[in-house]
Structure 1
Amino acid sequence: MQTILISITALAISALPMQAGEWSVLLVGPTQASGSATIAFATDGSVSGSTGCNRFQGQAVFDGAGIVFDKPLAMTRMACPGTEVTRQEDTIVALLQDRVIVSLNPFTGELVLSRGDLSLVAAAQPEWDDGGMRPNAGLERPAGDPPYLGVFGLADPLDIRAKPSSDAPALAGVQSGTVLRNLGCSDHGGVRWCNVAPLSGAPVGWAPSEFLEPAGAALRAGQGAFDATSQIPCAKGQGAPTTGCPFGVVRGPGGSAVVVVRKPDGVERVLYFENGAFSGADSSQAGGGFASSSTRDADLSLIRVDDERYEIPDSVLFGG
């Protein structure tokens, strides 16, 4: 059967809000995406997401067959683990500039973005009452200690095997920088193996612990493995009233935390905390930065980032 692609904007500019929301990146070029790469479109033309390592945001104008960026993306600046994740990030950043053709496959519902020989394919994420953010990726908290592990130190994918043995069949391969659910580790044949699963929950299998390490809060937040999700009061715009904004939080020791908030315009803001105190936000506005501040009111951190306001209760950072 011939695959037919139609332009999103061929449906008319008014149809754009139907495509607003977050999409999971499936392919970057011909390669399966590593980690949890995403791209989101807001009705005001804002484009944001994750490369599987760093988060990005930008502004685009939608025309008759695609989107046009007039300046580079603003991005966080974490070092990406592994060459595959770094290569993926470089490709996504190179794609999302100038003019990008946007097409929709009406049979699969997949979104295709292309510019020259660069491309990515994405699938729509399901709508959730919490704005697309789910604690523990929508599953029970993993039983292992630590509950989440990150793959590291490999140029090639790490095999998840059916049994804790290098001779067992490989069920899947995961790239360095991928967060896995830890269902428990034990020794087998003199080698320590961990029972793991992707954030999707399947396949469940085994991987040697020498290529696994505790997944840091920033890595987990970038891939949506939150400890808790709910809403907090936030506002965007000088004098704008507060509204409930969905958030997800990854908690670290001693009051350290990474909080991802989805603003009213659909763009996400990442807030960092150390020892229970606000320490900064994700980089924004390439070439300019932003002004941020924090004050305390009882058990609330009142945070400003440019014209944005956030009220973060201590219970978000510490639980309870």
Structure 2
Amino acid sequence: MRQQLIVWFIFLGLMLPIHAKINPLLGSWRLVEFKSMEDAQPKLTPKDGQRFELFLYDDNRVEMLLDCNRANGEWQATANDNHSGSIQFSKLANTEALCPAPNLDEWIASQSDFIRGFIIRDNRLYLNLMADGGIFTWQRLTGHTDVAYSYIAPNAGGPRNWQVVATSGLNMRQGPSVNTAIQTTLSKDTLLDNLGCELAEHRTWCDVQPLGGGLRGFVAAEYLLPAVSPNGMVVFGTDQSAIRASLGVFDATGKISCNVSNLSDTFCRFYVARDSGGYATLRIETATGLSNVFFFRMGIAIGGSSSEADKPGSFRSERQSDASLIYLGNDSFLVPDTIILGG
């Protein structure tokens, strides 16, 4: 009897939907190519600048970023083992913006109706169409875990930043309700700091502000995706670079070009404490011993301070090729991207 029960439990385990197990499908995937089984049909690959991404959630929701459009629906999968099995998507509802040619968005959404199987190998997800119609190849996004993101704050393990994907703009409201006042409208691709999310009025609302600070308010979560940093990562959890810098724990040091008032020296010593995804705290010391600290998020300089309390002027930053030119008062500092991102 004991042996029969063990065999029965093993059988049930093999037949459980894959979301009931540790699920390798969960997470975010980027389209690499579509290959037809017919030799005469060419292989399809996204063009430069196009983004086709697949998000599989543990509540059986599926979302797709299809270039300038977005689609959503539901998915179900049953595993043969931990790396293959059957999978199906519901009919996807998608936005209908006119993306730049060549337009693959509608075609990809329509083909999802015919997906029937999956294989995971070497961080790639292969989705097979029925009747040997072809194979979609997706690459797991670097920096993502095997668990799809949730709408939670970074200190609870959520993404640090969001990117607006609403093509016609996204209203930022005073509170988590359509009945509260609109404070501003955010344009597509705006980067936001994730300050946490909550359920209200049968939808998820996220507390946000522009990257690095500014007007704070609530936006509907369905128009957000985790932001991808310059090195291709989506970063989860809190930034530890400022804490490490305050403890004197740095990843690199050296000299950068600078222009400091009343000094002939054109180089300044830097110390950088890096976190992932272009987050970093940079300390720069001049020949006179003054210390300036600059903060980077997603590779972007967002603020700075000086040990000189009465230093005139304000912080600003501009891009120069593969570097940030930072101004603090009358002083300037040229910071190459490699210092912030590593490499």
- Shorter-chain TM-score bucket reads 0.3 to 0.5
Q: State the TM-score, normalized to the length of structure 2.
A: 0.38
Q: State the TM-score, normalized to the length of structure 1.
A: 0.40
Select the structure with the greater relative contact order (CA < 8 A; seq sep ≥ 6): 1
Give the greater-gyration-radius structure (CA): 2
